[in-house]
Amino acid sequence: MKKFKKYLVKFLIYLSLVIFVSTFLSFTYSYIPKTLESFDKRLRDYMFVLRGEQPDSGNIVVVDLDDKSLKQIGQWPWSRNVVAKMLENLSKAGVGLIAFDVVFAEKDRSNPITMVDKLHLKVDKEKIPDYDYIFASTVAQTPTILGYQFQLSKANYADEKAPQIPAIFIERGRTDQNKNMVIKAYGTILNIPIVQDNAYSSGFFNNVPDESGVVRSVPLIIRYDDQIYPSLALETIRTISDSKKVYVNYDENGVTSIDVGDYSIPTDRYGRIIVNFRGGERTFTYVSAADIINGNFDPKDIEGKIAIVGTSAAGLLDLRSTPFESIYPGVEVHANVMDNILTDNYIQKPSWVDGLNLVHITILTFLIIMLVAYLPLSFAVLLIISLFGADMYLIFYALFQQGLILNILFPILAIIISTIAAMTLNYFRETKQNKAIKGKFASKVSKEVMESLLANPDDNSFSAMSKEITVFFSDVRGFTNISEAMPNAQILIEFLNEYMDPMTDIIINEKGTVDKFIGDAIMAYWNAPGDVPDHADRAVVATLNQLHHIDELNEKVRVDPRFEAVVKMSDDKGIPIIDIGIGLNSGIAIAGEMGSSQRSDYTVIGDPVNLGARLESLCKYYNSKCNISNFTKEKLTGKYIYRFLDLVTVKGKTEPIEIWQIHDYDRSADEEKTAHKLYDVSREQLDKELKLHHHGVELYKQSKFQEALDIFKDLESWENKTNKNIYNIYIERCEHYIAEPPENFNGVFVHNTKG
């Protein structure tokens, strides 16, 4: 339950961060500044470039008033009879429809009939050609859609006359509010009446760039004098579909689509089509206008196609900036729009996509924050990078495979802001956890264990768990006499600190955890909370290092005037100032945070801990400075000098355990020459003594009590023996069993007391 509560609290903390970040991003998205919207569009432009050029339908050709044509025919505008010749040649080649991306707003200045009138010449006017009339007649006899412009700002010079469109525009779902979303015009720039009136129809060719100056969408309709008028592209499509009705569909946000014939064209709320550009300049087939006029072209390039007459010449100022190029012929923009409609290949941003974008942002925010919260930083960063790539591919796929425009900028912001926010929260939480860990373990564990805990604060190190440990208990011999010899309590505490400081450092240096100080006793353990694979050896090394340090510590105490009374007491009794016994045991214990809601500590409990305490208390009985169990001995890999002490059952237990004494490190001959030893005899004598001792123990276990007795009596008689109690213990037992032979003897001795 406690573990679940911990995870629930963490989840709720990070969920709160998800809500905060996603709310902030959603609010910003809903009231997006123009600058951010421009960034999003530029990012989408890069996707167009990344996608590359796409083949067009082949149904559209651009008749280009290019530099070549201007050089051959002359400066624009050309004489109308020349333009009429171009229309005638296109018509003879079987063109499907001709659309003009130019407007003939003035009379032909080179028109002969105009010159006659201007000069007041007395000639037969019926014999003088009228180029405007010739052009108008040709327009009437060919499948030609004229172009014109709307004035989108109030201008005094704008014409107020509106063009005639042979179609009915039906606005479905129109209200007084949503109708205002359609772009409104304030005047017109039409073709001269003779030309305009002879055309089947016409369409406006206004290209309206966005705030960054790039043409990304083109209006298909414009409202003028409360009437709807079609663009050149829309009117061209309406004409070839032979439809007399155009349906403009609205919802509460504005225009949603335009239906003409079999085509349903999705638009934005302003009635604009978002152009799915096929590529850069000259993606479509271009034919020079001069070649059309001179008949120098292949009719197959024209037959059955829509021919858009426009210009790529820089001097005629019809160049635009698009996602692909900053200098792009305006005529080809119309070609792209027509091709999108003919192939039903749209990209669109329906009104409901804003809701989808907000869901997208929220999901990304949740995923990123939870990845950072629950995964290691390096792995989380790798997944975030992968998620970023996958998300960009999803947006790319939606744009070009599904024709759906998703916001690009805000998912990127969601990933960046969520990552920073989650890492910042992690930093503050880990700082708090680090302080808590340091507060609990700064004086109890080694630096390596501390670093491990700090590096992995969420690895359940503090949760209660069963774990194999090696437990350590030490006790100062004769501490009652020491405390009684002290002049006051303050000196006693200072004496204990002199002893505890180096002993604690030794334990921590060997990656142990100091559990508690019980008066003069120390309890410690290895392999919790952090992992210490060689915990048994570490515990033995710490034990032997402490025993080796006792001589140095005694010398330090001996010269300290504060402890003069203790020194005198030890000299009078002929005992060391400080002498300790240590018990070690290994086994599966319960480790974790224990205590009350007001006061708790990390500790270990269980039978292995209790046995470790018993082993320490038996040091007096066996005259040993370090007792270990067979459970610890089995795990040791280092070289040590062992003495088997006993096979016993301790108080409260029925299973027998082996008790072993560790005399010291088992060093090489060269190391023996310079090393400080814990025994006062030569190594040869110690080896001989231990060999006889273990032989006597084997005889004892085999119930050969008389033979074992002889060996133990012999060892007891040695002057410099290394254990002054063990032989008397076995002598007493052998004599007892010789006098009262046991039945089914198994060598086990039962300890009925703790020490």
Element housing 427 (H / E): helix 409-441
Q: Could you tell me if 661 and 691 are in contact, meaning their C-beta atoms sit under 8 angstroms apart?
A: no
pLDDT digits (tens, 9 = 90+) for 363-381: 999 999 999 999 998 999 9
* Mean pLDDT confidence for 444-466: 60
Under 8 Å between Cβ of 711 and 718: no
Pair of tokens at residue 218 = 């083109």
Strands 640-649 and 657-665: antiparallel
Mind listing the pLDDT tens digit for each residue in 154-165? 766 667 788 999
For 231, which DSSP code?
B
Predicted confidence (pLDDT) per residue in 223-232, tens digit:
999 999 999 9
Q: Which residue has the higher pLDDT, 88 or 753?
A: 88
Average pLDDT in the 120-148 region?
86
Closest CA to 365 of 423, 401, 295, 416: 416
Band of the pLDDT at 120, cuts 50, 70, 90?
Answer: low
User: Looking at residue 751, what is its pLDDT?
Assistant: 72
CA 223 to chain CA centroid, Å, is 49
Tokens of 492: 């006693």
Chain centroid, CA 103 distance in Å:
56
What single-letter amino acid sits at 444? Answer: K
Query: Can you tell me the distance from the alpha carbon of 158 to that of 105, in angstroms, rounded to the nearest whole number?
Result: 12
Please tell me the distance from the alpha carbon of residue 90 to that of residue 99, in angstroms, as a whole number.
11
Q: Mean pLDDT of all residues in the chain? A: 90
Q: Could you count the other beta carbons within 10 Å of the beta carbon of residue 664?
A: 21
**Percentage of the chain exceeding pLDDT 70:** 92
- Quote the distance between the C-alpha of residue 612 and its chain's center: 47
DSSP 267-295: --TTSEEEP---SSTT-SEEEEHHHHHHT
For 230, phi then psi, to 5°, come to -90, 155
How far from each other are the two terminal CA atoms of the chain, in whole angstroms?
Answer: 40
CA angle 375, 379, 380 (to 5 degrees): 60
Strand residues in 397-512 grouped as ranges (E): 465-476
Which range among 156-165, 189-198, 474-483, 731-740 shows the weakest confidence by mean pLDDT? 156-165
Judge contact between 696 and 708, C-beta under 8 A: yes
Phi then psi dihedrals of residue 596, to 5 deg: -105, 175
Q: What is the pLDDT of residue 34?
A: 73
Structure tokens at 118: 């201007």
- pLDDT, tens digit (0-9, with 9 covering 90-100), for 690-714: 999 999 999 999 999 999 999 999 9
Convert 163-174 into a string of H (helix), E (strand) and C (coil): CCCCCEEEEECC
Q: What is the mean pLDDT of residues 274-281?
A: 94
The SS3 assignment for 68 reads helix
CB atoms within 10 A of CB 501: 11
Nearest of 261, 309, 343, 263 to residue 58 by alpha carbon:
343
Does position 209 have pLDDT exceeding 70, yes or no? yes
What span, in angstroms and rounded, lies between the C-alpha atoms of 17 and 557?
A: 58
Instruction: Answer whether 279's CB lies under 8 Å from 324's CB.
Output: yes
Per-residue model confidence (pLDDT) at position 222? 97
Is the pLDDT assigned to residue 445 strictly greater than 70? no
What string of DSSP letters covers 585-600? EEEEEEEEEEE-SSSE
Closest CA to 231 of 129, 146, 301: 146
Token reading at 143: 């499948």
Q: Which of 83-92, 193-202, 459-468, 636-645 has the lowest mean pLDDT?
A: 459-468
Q: Are 742 and 702 in contact (CB under 8 A)?
A: no
Question: Residues 677, 680, 683, 688: is their CA dihedral positive or negative?
Answer: negative
Residue among 439, 442, 433, 421 nearest 460 (CA): 433
User: Where does the pLDDT of residue 603 fall: very low under 50, low under 70, confident under 90, or very high at 90 and above?
Assistant: confident
Tell me what pLDDT residue 234 has. 97
Percentage of the chain beyond pLDDT 90 is 72
Which range is least confidently modeled, 111-115, 258-262, 622-626?
A: 111-115
Task: Give the burial class of 565: count Cβ atoms within 10 A of its Cβ; 0-12 exposed, 13-18 middle, 19 or more buried.
Answer: middle
Distance set, CA 432 to CA 7, 325, 436, 616 (Å)? 16, 54, 6, 38
pLDDT of residue 443: 55
The model's pLDDT over 517-567, given as tens digits with 9 standing for 90+, comes to 998 999 999 998 888 999 999 999 999 999 999 999 999 999 999 999 998
DSSP state of 62: E
Q: Tell which residue, 502, 503, 501, 511, has the closest CA to residue 446.
A: 511
What is the fold of 464-638?
A: Alpha-Beta Plaits (3.30.70)
Q: How many CB atoms lie within 10 A of CB 311?
A: 25
The pLDDT, as a whole number, for residue 315 is: 81
Q: Residue 541: how many CA atoms within 13 Å on its side-chain side?
A: 18
CA distance 441 to 426: 21
Distance, CA of 401 to CA of 403 (rounded, Å):
6
The per-residue pLDDT for 464 is: 75
C-beta of residue 324 within 8 angstroms of C-beta of residue 277: yes
| pLDDT (0 to 100) of residue 460 | 55
| Strand ranges, E, within 96-159 | 97-100, 144-151
Q: What does the pLDDT look like over 82-114, one tens digit per residue?
A: 999 999 999 999 999 999 999 999 998 888 887
Residues in contact with 520: Cβ distance below 8 Å, sequence separation at least 6, in sequence order: 475, 476, 479, 496, 499
Triad 572, 575, 581: Cα angle to 5°:
155
| CB contact at 8 A, 56 and 67 | no
Helix (H, G, I), strand (E, B) or coil at 681: coil
All structural domains of the chain with their residue ranges: 2-49+350-437, 58-342, 464-638
List alpha helices for 559-666, DSSP H: 564-573, 607-617, 619-622, 630-633
- pTM for the model stands at 0.62
Let me know: does 584 contact 471? Beta carbons within 8 Å.
yes
DSSP E strands: which ranges in 277-374?
285-288, 306-310, 319-320, 328-329
